[in-house]
Amino acid sequence: MDEMQALIDKIQTWNREYYTLDNPSVTDAEYDAAYDRLRKLEEETGTVLPGSPTGQVGGELLDHFERHTHVFPLFSLDKRQNKEGLQAWVERAERVVDGLRETETLPPLAFTTEYKFDGLTINLTYDNGELIQAATRGTGTVGEAILPQVRTILSIPKRIAYTGFMEVQAEALMKLSTLAHYNATHDEPLKNARNAAAGALRNLDTRITRARRLIAYCYAVQGEDLPFSSQTELFAFLESNGFPVFPYRKRVTDFSSLWEEIEKIRAARNTLDILTDGVVIKVDDLQTREHMGHTDKFPRGAVAYKFEAEIVETELEDVIWSVGRTGKVTPTAVLSPVDIGGVTVQRATLNNYEDIERKGLALGATVHLRRSNDVIPEILGTVEDGANTRPIEKLTHCPSCHSELVQDGVHQFCLNSLSCEPQLVARMTHFASKSAMDVAGLSEKTAALLLKEKDLHDVADLYTLHTEDLLALSGFKEKKAKNLFDAIQASKGRPLSQFLVALGIPGVGVRTARDLAAHYHTLDALKDAGEEALTEIPDIGTITAKEIRTFFTDEQIAESLQKLEALGVVPKAQEEAADRPLEGLTIVLTGSLQMKRRELEEALVKRGASVTGSVSKNTDFVIAGENAGSKLTRAQELGIPVFHEEKVPALLAGERLV
């Protein structure tokens, strides 16, 4: 047992050096040898000691997330986006503290500055020196329990010296270098580091979480009788207990010094291997902060300063055109490589040819490029044309199959849906996507391979494949072929809502598909529905109703649906829930919500509510998250009740609110 404990202590130290300090003291071979020795001892003795790293990486597949109520509330932060706004916040804090000094003995006012990370907030619960729970922030009151997922983050300690009860807040992140390596070695690339971290921790399969190799930085602690009295001491406490803490933080006593630190962070942020989008400023003394109190949503003793989007100049070298699932042809700008936000950018999306004309773009012109954190770069317009610019010609034929293009509104379309390869690949990839038929392993690369080597021309053809057919594909071995075959077969009985998403009906996304499935229950009933009947469903207007009718009366679609049915693809009929406490309510969601919007919508619909995308006189109430915009304004104009996200648990418990 002594040798096992010594190995655990040693490996935990090495994990901290590697994942937190980025300064490993041993080679991979030495680490692996110690890890393998520990596993061997555990197998021989049948004992796994608490805190063993062999039990931290998880292999279990969970079937759902449990709800977890935080002991202490997790507030979000109010935001400032310019120097004047931040200075006003500091001056207000000074006035409030001066007022408090009339009745309280408080130290001189000081502030701490920290990087604002752009990942997923997690709440870690410790008791008796053990990590006993981990959860997402959720509503700030209730989150989702994700302890098995968090155990895969090797930098988070599972045992600590402090034995009191406390909750530690941290930000889970994926390093940009880790993201680049992952995308270079996997068929399906991850979109960005923020989504990669959030998706990993909210994945029921902890093997996927582990493969993302997440890190975390801790920055807050809540509990009773904690052994520190300031933010500065809080960080020292975290470090002394082995928690991963970002190396930068400063303590300042006036606005001039505070702004100087913000400028330093602004200059340094693009050199980091993680996403940051601002600075967090906190009153250093915790007693002062507590006396300052909080609003319903924000503590008054802390604020987030958000960086503005960066704008640079570069040359527009070329425009390339791509064909999507629906046949829409979209232009992409090819740029002279330029560094923006710590990333070298060479591409930017252009919406359509009208967008090109409106911005006055030409090949060889210098353009303004804007990028906000890891958002796709956007060309704002032309700085100067220059002497050697060339006009961007509007396409007349498909760049892939060379069929003549058709103009529909501001967009151009290729109508050759039967043999235009990019359309076929995109359609098959969409059909197999997670929100649709959820065929694991059918990536864009695999779809292209199936078209090329198996001559598939319709999604129904997927269900004609056998393991032997897949084994014959380039790069496929027995396990990969069997896994894909099993995934295809397992998708035959998906719920009707997912099947409707998979079909790719114009104007029908996840929400509308769910509403249609809840209303009609079976595919046959939906196929028979007329336009007028369809418009009776909230959020389905005449245009979408017409698109649905046109889709189901198309001969090619009808033939494909018949073929799917003959091959055993029968979508599961939508069951009517027995308990529908929110029956008849029309609800609108707006702003940034802590609970995944899709999951919240599905939960509300399951309880009988109708969730729509726009506010009207028929809306019963609005649930507003952070940064709510025009929908909130419209609700206020119409006198429609607005509730903050804190009301969601009561709503899901069946309380109608109005």
The answer to whether 75 and 214 are in contact (CB under 8 A) is: no
Catalytic residue among 10, 79, 116, 546: 116
Name the phi and psi angles at 311, rounded to 5: -125, 130
Among candidate residues 440, 441, 437, the one with its CA nearest the CA of residue 459: 437
Paired tokens of 416: 């050759």
Dmax over Cα atoms in the chain, in whole Å? 82
Q: How far apart are CA 296 and CA 286, in angstroms?
A: 19
Name the nearest CA neighbour of 347 among 380, 369, 323, 325. Answer: 369
Supply the DSSP symbol for 337.
E
* Residue 297 in tokens: 């949503």
Q: Residue 595: CB partners within 8 Å, gap ≥ 6?
A: 138, 139, 645, 648
The alpha carbon dihedral of 304, 308, 309, 311 has a sign of negative
For tokens 């996997």, name the residue: 186
Q: In whole angstroms, what is the distance from residue 97 CA to residue 102 CA?
A: 9
Query: What's the per-residue H, E or C state across 406-430?
Result: EEECCEEEECCCCCCHHHHHHHHHH
To 5 degrees, how large is the angle CA 27–CA 28–CA 34? Answer: 95
Q: Looking at beta carbons, which pairs linking 625-634 to residues 24 or more positions away fall under 8 Å?
A: 625/589, 625/590, 625/591, 625/592, 625/593, 625/594, 626/76, 626/297, 626/591, 626/592, 627/591, 627/592, 628/590, 628/591, 629/590, 629/591, 631/588, 631/590, 632/590, 632/591
The DSSP output letter for 439 is: -
Nearest Cα residue to 230 out of 108, 90, 71 = 108
CB atoms within 10 A of CB 504: 17
Sheet with 166-173, edge to edge strand ranges: 130-136, 120-127, 166-173, 215-223
Q: How far is CA 107 from CA 98, 243, 258, 286, in A?
A: 11, 28, 18, 10
Angstrom distance (rounded) from CA 352 to CA 364: 19
Residue that the structure tokens 């449990």 belong to: 66
Residue 101 three-state SS:
coil
* Catalytic residue list contains 191: no
Residue 169, token pair as written in the block:
């807040």
Q: Which two tokens mark 273?
A: 């291997």
Question: Can you tell me the distance from the alpha carbon of 214 to that of 197, in angstroms, rounded to the nearest whole number?
Answer: 7
Q: Are 123 and 169 in contact (CB under 8 A)?
A: yes
Handedness of CA 514, 515, 521, 525 (dihedral sign): negative
Task: Identify which of 241, 311, 250, 322 has the alpha carbon closest to the alpha carbon of residue 51.
Answer: 241
Kindly list the catalytic residues.
116
